[in-house]
């Protein structure tokens, strides 16, 4: 069995792939494997990945016949993985030398194999400036993880990429096909893990792009809204009605979600339609999911006030029906 299988979804990353894959090759040992999963790229990404696979026997290259998205690619990699541990790497990021080896060595240093090992996480912005996140431990030595999981779930970065997961732990787990899939996966895995280990001395370097990579699968605000509603219901089924986790999840997505709402104000639709759409989304989330309005910008808040004057008596049942009607007026999900 391999030490670790690192899964790399690839879609149109030709500008970054050489540098990222060279970094990744330095991050894994000789007894590990790298699964490159090309998600039907339309640029030179596949040919670049193919060259790397020919040069290094640790690499296996798979290709989707159609573009399916990052969740599908990662789930495909989980099924194909041969490692004792499974890691995830984005095709435009970088890692420290020996990153995955060090996490595996940390896992092997204790008697009971952990479900998850967590490394450090830094961000390199579009100007190539390194934004260093705190690397202090969140967990307290000697205290059972069951007593620390809530603090850890909300205090740890939501990214799956600075972590490795025991393959047995991931056997019945997968990435959902919702916008911000990492957040849902994070809460699900942290809720169900029995032992988590930290090794913050080695770093993963996240490299966000100016094209808004995180939002490329669902690039219309109401698409993200419906993805949020569906994702919330999905997460509730996975972790139960634990109000702490659901509240923490809200805080993780609220601010970004309100950014989507704000962008509706620039859509080429009438003012009344903007009021209706923005107001209905906010109304649904505040009444059903108890969202906090403190992140709402003044402009969007004014739209919501106009909405309340017009639709203040809408019942919850009518509000839900209205959402269903709106879903047909505007595209729900637009693939990149």
Instruction: For residue range 304-332, list pLDDT tens digits in order.
Output: 999 998 887 788 888 878 877 776 666 44
Q: State the residue for tokens 């040919």.
A: 47
For residue 311, CA distances in Å to 21, 275, 279, 292 come to 53, 10, 9, 20
Rounded average pLDDT over 205-225: 53
- The pLDDT of residue 27 is 97
Highest mean predicted confidence (pLDDT) among 19-23, 123-127, 233-237, 240-244: 19-23
Number of domains in the chain: 2
Residue pLDDT, tens place only, 77-95: 999 999 999 999 999 999 9
Going from the C-alpha of 137 to that of each of 11, 133, 196, the distances in angstroms are 34, 12, 12
pLDDT, tens digit, for every residue of 144-180?
999 999 889 888 889 999 999 999 999 999 999 887 8
Residue 13 maps to a domain: yes
Same domain, 227 and 204: no
What are the tokens at 323? 């959402």
When pLDDT is cut at 50, 70 and 90, the band that residue 243 belongs to is confident
Domain-ending residue, one of 161, 193, 213: 213
Round to whole Å and give the CA distance between 71 and 184: 11
- The CA–CA distances, whole Å, from 189 to 116, 136, 138, 240 equal 9, 21, 17, 13
Same domain, 29 and 130: yes
At 279, list the tokens.
């107001």
pLDDT band at 219 (very low <50, low <70, confident <90, very high): very low
- Do 234 and 177 lie in one domain? The reply is no
Residue 257 has pLDDT above 60, yes or no: yes
pLDDT, residue 55, reads 96
Structural domain that includes position 154: 2-213
Q: Which pTM value belongs to this model? A: 0.83
Which of residues 182, 213, 244 is at a domain's end? 213
Q: What is the mean pLDDT of residues 30-51?
A: 97
CATH code for the domain in which residue 192 is found: 3.90.550.10
What's residue 268's pLDDT?
Answer: 77
In a domain, 334, yes or no: no
The predicted pLDDT at position 264 comes to: 78
- The pLDDT of residue 40 is 95
Q: Mean pLDDT in the chain?
A: 85
User: What integer is the mean pLDDT of 196-200?
Assistant: 95
Q: What is the pLDDT of residues 97-122, one digit of tens each?
A: 999 999 999 999 999 999 999 999 99
Q: Are residues 187 and 233 in the same domain?
A: no
> Going by DSSP bridges, is the β-strand pair 116-124/196-206 parallel, antiparallel, or unpaired?
parallel
User: Within 10 Å of residue 290's Cβ, how many Cβ atoms?
Assistant: 11
**Among 213, 234, 258, where does a domain finish?**
213
For residue 336, is it within any domain?
Answer: no
User: Are 47 and 188 contained in the same domain?
Assistant: yes
Residues 201 and 284 in one domain: no
Same structural domain, 187 and 108: yes
Residue 28 confidence (pLDDT): 97
Q: Can you give the pLDDT at residue 250? A: 75
**Beta strand residue intervals within the chain, DSSP E:** 2-10, 33-38, 59-63, 83-88, 94-95, 116-124, 130-131, 163-166, 196-206
At residue 300, the pLDDT reads 85
Both 118 and 59 in one domain: the answer is yes
Residue 126 pLDDT more than 60?
no
């Amino acid at each position: 069995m391999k030490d670790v299988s690192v899964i790399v979804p690839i879609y149109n990353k030709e500008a970054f792939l050489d540098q990222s894959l060279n970094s990744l090759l330095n991050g894994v040992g000789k007894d590990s494997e790298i699964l490159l999963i090309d998600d039907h790229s339309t640029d030179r990404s596949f040919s670049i990945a193919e060259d790397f696979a020919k040069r290094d026997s640790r690499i296996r290259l798979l290709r989707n016949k159609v573009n399916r998205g990052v969740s599908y690619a990662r789930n495909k990699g989980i099924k194909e993985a041969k490692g004792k541990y499974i890691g995830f790497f984005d095709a435009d990021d970088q890692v420290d030398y020996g990153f995955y080896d060090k996490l595996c060595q940390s896992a092997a240093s204790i008697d009971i194999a952990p479900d998850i090992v967590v490394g450090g996480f830094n961000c390199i912005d579009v100007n190539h400036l390194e934004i260093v996140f705190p690397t202090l431990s969140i967990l307290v030595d000697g205290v059972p993880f069951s007593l620390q999981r809530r603090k850890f779930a909300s205090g740890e970065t939501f990214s799956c990429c600075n972590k490795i997961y025991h393959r047995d732990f991931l056997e019945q787990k997968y990435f959902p096909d919702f916008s911000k899939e990492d957040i849902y996966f994070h809460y699900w895995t942290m809720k169900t893990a029995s032992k988590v280990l930290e090794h913050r001395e080695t770093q993963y370097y996240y490299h966000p792009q100016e094209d808004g990579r995180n939002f490329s699968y669902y690039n219309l605000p109401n698409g993200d809204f419906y993805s949020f509603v569906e994702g919330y219901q999905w997460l509730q089924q996975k972790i139960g009605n634990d109000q702490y986790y659901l509240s923490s999840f809200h805080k993780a997505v609220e601010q970004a979600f309100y950014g989507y709402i704000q962008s509706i104000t620039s859509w080429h639709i009438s003012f009344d339609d903007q009021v209706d759409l923005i107001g209905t989304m906010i109304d649904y989330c505040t009444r059903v999911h108890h969202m906090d309005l403190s992140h709402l910008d003044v402009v969007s808040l004014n739209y919501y006030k106009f909405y309340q004057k017009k639709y203040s008596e809408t019942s919850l049942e009518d509000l839900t029906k209205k959402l269903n009607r709106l879903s047909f007026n505007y595209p729900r999900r637009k693939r990149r």
